[in-house]
Structure 1
Amino acid sequence: MKHLFLFLFVFFAILSVNAQQTQKPPLHGKNWMAITGKPLAATAGSMIFQKGGNAIDAACAMLAATCTMWDVLSWGGETQALIYNPKLKKVIAINALGVAPSGATVNFFKDKGYEFPPEYGPLAAVTPGTTGGLCYMLAKYGKLSLKEVLAPAMEMAAGYPIDGQTANSIERNKEKIKAWPYSKAVFLTHLGEEREAPVAGEIFKQPALLATLTKLVDAEQEALKEGKNRENAIHAAFDRFYKGDIAEEFVRGVKEQGGLITLEDLANWKPIEEEPLHVNYRGIEVYKLQEWTQGPALLQSLNILENFDLKKMEYNSAPYIHTLYQTMSLAFADRDFYYGDPYFSPRSPITGLLSKQYAKERASLISPNRNVGLAQPGDPYSFEGKKNPFISLLKNRSLLTDTTQNKDNREFVPKHDATNKSAAIVNMGNDDSLYHDRLWRGTTSVVAADKEGWLIAITPSGGWVPACIAGNTGIGMSQRLQSFVLDSTISPFNVLAPGKRPRVTLTPSLALKNGLPHLAFAVQGGDTQDQNLLQFFLNMEEFGMTVQQAAEAANINSNQLWLSLGGTSIQDRIPKPGSILLNNKTPEHVRAALKQMGYDMSFGERTSGPINAIFVDQEHGTFWGGSSNHGEDYGIGW
């Protein structure tokens, strides 16, 4: 009788989850689907599909549009993507992250008093990657010309009605913007008035950016006239950006404002097509980018969670939340220490980190009824048959993690990348305007699919407001240099060096089932990205939610990790053991149980992302789209 009662309780709990009403309807389509962070940008994707483009063309158009709209990124930022190629029947990875410029050394920044590279301005910049990444993906896997794909973004650069969130972000950051002459000229359209930023609905014009995009298209069209094929013509545009007159003006503008990027830095940079990493979770192949991103932390988490019966725990019960938190703490402890640019030495022990045996060992560290203080990195080297060369460094590392200071001032999400997580958090005292600004802002996600079988997920970022624009290019510089560390005790794999890529938070996801496309999912939000994506995936695969239900469902967030962005001192970034963000609707009995386990709880109105995703319904041959129920994320399907 007891077992029957337990069965019925779990059955009705799952039934209740599956019956959950969503605030936004799921999207449906059989031919294509385009989802991203702004309605106008989703419309740009739909326009490209209607021209006969495939999912890669549409994704590139959405990427171009979001950059032009300053959706917390710009053309000088970074792009990373996962693509399912139906011709090759495999997932490929695109690494279009910029590198540290020639003069960016540890000593350069330490001599200026930094413990991390700066958050803003020309000294925060890596080389621009988004333009090159877009050109590479379009040339190799798209169908249309650069001229066709950039047409919506160029029309927007000529003038589009700016949204209130971006306009208010400009106004809020105007004092920083005034320090950079080219940024001031673009953003502060009412200089000297009480409100110096544009107002919502005002036509926002970017003539310098339009001129740059026109130069790219002109280079492509000239190459076509010379008899070059489509792919080589797009590469001609790439060369004009990184080696031609655009590069010259970009570098001139950087140097004028005190930055380090050189012509050689631009000319030597190129995107890289890579093999993605993946693990099998209960029959589903989940793909992430390599360890130059935080993506493998999600894969490590799935490996650990395979050792637990999550369905039996129930969605967002105290045991489930506790198991998730402990799992993520272990995975992020490894991320913080072992992840970095795989093209530099030392190489991360990624084989050991992703082994099922290592995951079992990590799972055994989880106490069933208490938070285990500050999780420490493990020793994955032994699972590669090697000796860990950093044992002594790991012992010294604990001296950096004094968590007794700045406890109430540190936020879950850095300001530029913030989503709802820092919104309405009970004990952080954010005012209402800042709450709404962070609620609707964040690194954009782009997902697209088509009936030919192409599936793509992109998480682009960089060059967010307040952005330092490089000369008369209209292009905001990246701020991603801050994701490096200057102290090998924090991570010997992610120490700043010229030509090196920082380990980033940006992390798109793809999943295959039965060897065929199953899911594309991505989210904004700094260090919380893989936390939210992990829970989104489990919501669907363990608890049977639809893609829209999973996108809206309440998540938890952990602050027990080293922040990747925000603040230039050790105390700004150290982990906060036991610090957890829960949804306001978390039941009292769950709160009480977590408190007894030793958690320090904060509460937010919405804790789900925002996530954008496409589910490929293999049974019916259709697409389901899920798009966040807060902010401006938007999708269109047909």
Structure 2
Amino acid sequence: MKRTYARLLTTLVWGATLVPLSAWAQRTEKPPLHGKHWMAITGKPLAATAGARLFHQGGNAVDAACAMLAATCTMWDVLSWGGETQALIYHPKLKKVIAINALGVAPTGATVDFFRSKGYEFPPEYGPLAAVTPGTPGGLCYMLANYGTKSLAEVLAPAMEMAAGYPIDAQTATSIERGKERIKEWPYSKKVFLVHEGKEREAPEAGEIFIQKDLLETLSKLVEAEKKALVAGKDRKTAIMAAYDRFYTGDIADEFVRGSKEQGGLITKQDLANWKPIVEEPLHVSYKGIDVYKLQEWTQGPAMLQSLQLLKNFDLKSMGYNSPSYIHTVYQVMNLAFADRDFYYGDPYTNPKTPIRGLLSDSYAKERASTIDHQQNNPDVFPGDPYPYEGKRNPYAVLLQERKAKFAPHMDLNKDFVPKHDAGIAPSSSMESKASLSASLAVDSLYEDRLLRGTTSVEAADEEGWVVSITPSGGWLPACIAGKTGVGMSQRLQSFVLDSLINPFNVVSPGKRPRVTLTPSMALKDGRPYLSFAVQGGDTQDQNLLQFFLNMVEFGMTPQQATEAPNINSNQLWLSLGGTKSDDRKPRSGSLLLDKRTPKSTIEQLEKMGYSIQLGERTSGPINAIYFDQEHNTLWGGSSNNGEDYGIGW
């Protein structure tokens, strides 16, 4: 009954020009969360419980967020301890948003020539050669030491209990079984994951107690380092950072490097010692009186900010929620923002320097918005020129022309694709070949893999005013574990490029950070917290977060309604993950994913505008969010129905 009612409401909302969104009422597939004191939301129920435990022990939102981060890593919730952490923290005493960059860097030897000598067009997707240095242990320690209140021992206690043995969930157990052939390539991974080696099912069964002795020992060493520092009279912060030092310069580092090198990895002890988390000023723009914050351009986060700048030039509300004109406008805007992302975003701590000030300027957005054709999809959207909006000349003008000449003839890979309707694949004409049909199915599969691949998110807030939004990732299954550390290595190196024609700011080089898809989000209204939100899903993250934000701000949805609402997704961009050849990653022009309940009339109108439609059960990764009700001084939580994400409030 609930699902039927929800579908009826969705149908009404698709006709938003006729039915006001207030008709949606409160009913959703998952209930909204409410809290007066605190809110903890993340990718697994047990991990949300870890956050709740820290709150019950008197911790603040940073303590709870770190406990959830540790738990999700231990549960392999599409990440592990060797991955990367990206965070935004609202500091209530300073009344400002702080950005934490805990992304690893390319190791010694990770050069363009090295990967090309092995036949790669992009760095590999899996294995030790896909790894950047681990960032999550350092990021967690740094956040906890500087903004939390609890000890590392208290924050890691739930994760350590899990490492000692917890009932594994079906999703993770299935991922292990599905990836077992690759896992068998790495001896330390095989030992941890394939607990029934030789049997038909070699992975753990759902509900089976999953034990990670090596990881437990690593976490115990971190707590031991903290304890020794405290016994020696060190303060809380110094003691936590003693654990940090043990991971990056001590015996844990020794074993991590040894295990990586044994399996063909490049990471050195000096790479670990040289790495440090960075505290940054976040980027932000204002949209209808709401200040939206993102991490800097080493993430794709500014693409959402660019999209909001572009959307200021349109009256979205009058178009109606997910009407053909709304879908077309949002799609075109996202394509423009992502075209700039694909060429201009990269590590701001290395040369060349990105033109981010121009990219986020109102005048540049107005100029880009004026190029949109309101009747047809533009199949060849290319990067713009933000340099004049910084008072500079574009040093890559010639490169942009070469890029267009090289890729334009091949960008429209989706032109012969078959729209996917509820009844299955329907050929666009009787001349459709079996090869073209196979290509359509293959790309749909790649798209779904990209949509589902990725990360988790962590959202926490407390009554004192601390707010945390984290999008950690890396070391997902099937993961290569580094020696006897129990730590899965990151696969983030694949987000670099080897060809400057694709992106001169994101060419792999030792000590450099790749441009990642990971993108926590925060918004303030009248200088106070308004929203904290994040999602998993690779290149779709800022597409879905943009629409979640618009759902609330433009169409008045509650956080839970906004997380569950049907989104659209564009595949007209360069993929950041997956595939080792350029053809695997090139934009699929006009490729548009819609909710399967989309009215036929909307589909037909969009097809006439040049779109190739795919319909899906889910059109977003799991969005998690906290809304701050400034009128009632309470917290609302939203956690979408597209995954195992879970929240607890009090």
For normalisation by structure 2, the TM-score amounts to: 0.92
Classify 1:312/1:404 alpha carbon distance in 2 versus 1 (closer, same or farther; 3 Å).
closer
**Partners of 2:563 and 2:624 within 8 A in 1:** yes
After superposition, give the CA deviation of every residue in 1:324-364 in whole Å (9 maximum; x if it has no partner). 00000000000000000000111100000000000000100
Equivalence map 1:602-613=2 (5 Å): 602-613=614-625
* Alignment match of 2:552 (pick from 533, 540, 545): 540
Task: Identify the residue that residue 400 of structure 1 maps to in structure 2.
Answer: 407
* Superposed displacement of residue 512, structure 1: 0.1
Equivalence map 1:21-170=2 (5 Å): 21-170=27-176
Task: Identify the residue that residue 521 of structure 2 maps to in structure 1.
Answer: 509
Equivalence map 1:318-329=2 (5 Å): 318-329=324-335
* Alignment match of 1:218 (pick from 224, 238, 248): 224
**Partners of 1:313 and 1:320 within 8 A in 2:** yes
Task: Identify the residue that residue 418 of structure 1 maps to in structure 2.
Answer: none
Q: Does 1:183 align with 2:195?
A: no
**Partners of 1:78 and 1:460 within 8 A in 2:** yes
After superposition, give the CA deviation of every residue in 1:41-83 in whole Å (9 maximum; x if it has no partner). 0000000000000000000000000000000100000000001
Task: Identify the residue that residue 631 of structure 1 maps to in structure 2.
Answer: 643
Task: Identify the residue that residue 490 of structure 1 maps to in structure 2.
Answer: 502
* Superposed displacement of residue 589, structure 1: 1.4
**Partners of 1:289 and 1:508 within 8 A in 2:** yes
Distance 1:465 1:602 in 2: 27
Distance 2:89 2:327 in 1: 32
* Superposed displacement of residue 400, structure 1: 2.8
Task: Identify the residue that residue 4 of structure 2 maps to in structure 1.
Answer: none
Distance 1:435 1:292 in 2: 23
Q: Percent identity?
A: 73
Q: Which amino acid aligns with 1:513?
A: K
Q: Does 1:233 align with 2:239?
A: yes
Q: Is the partner of 1:91 in helix, strand or coil?
A: strand
Q: Which amino acid aligns with 2:649?
A: G
Task: Identify the residue that residue 375 of structure 2 maps to in structure 1.
Answer: 369
Distance 2:634 2:472 in 1: 27
**Partners of 1:24 and 1:629 within 8 A in 2:** yes
Classify 1:323/1:435 alpha carbon distance in 2 versus 1 (closer, same or farther; 3 Å).
closer
Distance 1:604 1:72 in 2: 22
* Superposed displacement of residue 17, structure 1: 5.5
Distance 2:425 2:180 in 1: 26
Distance 2:460 2:425 in 1: 33
Task: Identify the residue that residue 348 of structure 1 maps to in structure 2.
Answer: 354
Q: Which amino acid aligns with 1:617?
A: D
Distance 1:132 1:597 in 2: 49
Q: Does 1:554 align with 2:566?
A: yes
Distance 1:113 1:349 in 2: 32
**Partners of 1:527 and 1:564 within 8 A in 2:** yes
Equivalence map 1:278-289=2 (5 Å): 278-289=284-295
Q: Which amino acid aligns with 2:629?
A: D
* Alignment match of 1:593 (pick from 605, 609, 616): 605
Equivalence map 1:441-480=2 (5 Å): 442-480=454-492
* Superposed displacement of residue 429, structure 1: 5.1
Equivalence map 1:244-393=2 (5 Å): 244-393=250-399
Distance 2:285 2:94 in 1: 20
Distance 2:16 2:175 in 1: 45
**Partners of 1:81 and 1:457 within 8 A in 2:** yes
For normalisation by structure 1, the TM-score amounts to: 0.94
Greater shift, 602-611 or 277-286, is seen at: 602-611
Q: Which amino acid aligns with 2:222?
A: L
Unaligned segments of structure 1, at least 5 residues: 1-8, 411-423
Q: Does 1:519 align with 2:531?
A: yes
* Superposed displacement of residue 14, structure 1: 2.6
After superposition, give the CA deviation of every residue in 1:529-582 in whole Å (9 maximum; x if it has no partner). 000000000000000000000000000000000000001110000001111101
Q: Does 1:201 align with 2:207?
A: yes
Q: Which amino acid aligns with 1:115?
A: E
* Superposed displacement of residue 507, structure 1: 0.2
* Alignment match of 1:173 (pick from 155, 174, 179): 179
* Alignment match of 1:568 (pick from 580, 587, 591): 580
Q: Which amino acid aligns with 2:59?
A: G
**Partners of 2:30 and 2:641 within 8 A in 1:** yes
Distance 2:384 2:493 in 1: 27
* Superposed displacement of residue 13, structure 1: 2.4
Distance 1:135 1:402 in 2: 49
Classify 1:17/1:365 alpha carbon distance in 2 versus 1 (closer, same or farther; 3 Å).
farther
Q: Which amino acid aligns with 1:624?
A: W
Aligned residues: 617
* Superposed displacement of residue 440, structure 1: 7.5
* Superposed displacement of residue 409, structure 1: 12
After superposition, give the CA deviation of every residue in 1:130-157 in whole Å (9 maximum; x if it has no partner). 0000000000000000000000000000
Classify 1:189/1:628 alpha carbon distance in 2 versus 1 (closer, same or farther; 3 Å).
same
* Superposed displacement of residue 608, structure 1: 3.2
Distance 2:408 2:498 in 1: 16
**Partners of 1:287 and 1:511 within 8 A in 2:** yes
